[in-house]
Amino acid sequence: MTANARGLEDAVADCLFCKIVAGDIPSDQVYEDDAVVAFRDIAPQAPVHVLVVPRRHVSSLDGLRDDPDLAGRLLTAAAHVARAEGVHRSGYRVAVNHGRHGAQSVGHVHLHVLGGRQLEGELG
Ligand code: DGP
């Protein structure tokens, strides 16, 4: 096994969201397909706060540069989630935090889908 492959295996073994995708850690799942899983955030910042994650381990948005199909799948899944949660008419926000300055705290790329109340205008 290459060092790269070993590094990825270690990352997956330690990854919180990989464990949620695998069902090893329980979550309140609201959507799934062959590429994507979505579940409620454990510390919701709005009445609707769902995390949309790829099944395969990708540590951050930067890792999606070479996989536009998966990036698109994540975004369309977010739109499905918003509709299923009933916020597609009232409006919602999709956000991705990347890295330290972006305040990313879990190293498995995820889209936040937030809605159910008037969100504030400031993003940064
Ligand atoms: P971020 O800061 O963008 O990396 O967001 C990570 C989010 O993950 C944060 O809003 C809280 C959420 N989170 C952390 N641990 C868990 C967990 O064990 N279960 C669920 N459902 N969400 C979690």
Structurally, at CATH architecture level, domain 3-115 sits in: 2-Layer Sandwich (3.30)
Which residue numbers are catalytic? 110
SS3 content of the chain, % helix, strand, coil (to 5): 30, 20, 50
Predicted local confidence at residue 121, as pLDDT: 79
Nearest CA to ligand 1 atom 23: 42
Q: What is the pLDDT along the chain (124 residues), one digit of tens a residue?
A: 676 666 666 677 899 999 999 999 999 999 999 999 999 999 999 999 999 999 999 999 999 999 999 999 999 999 999 999 999 999 999 999 999 999 999 999 999 999 999 999 777 7
Q: Which residues line ligand 1 (CB under 6 A)?
A: 16, 27, 39-43, 51, 97, 103-106
pTM over 0.85: yes
Nearest CA to ligand 1 atom 19: 42
Atom of ligand 1 nearest to the CA of 39: 21
Nearest CA to ligand 1 atom 17: 42
Q: What DSSP string runs through 58-98?
A: --SGGGGTT-HHHHHHHHHHHHHHHHHTT-TTT-EEEE---
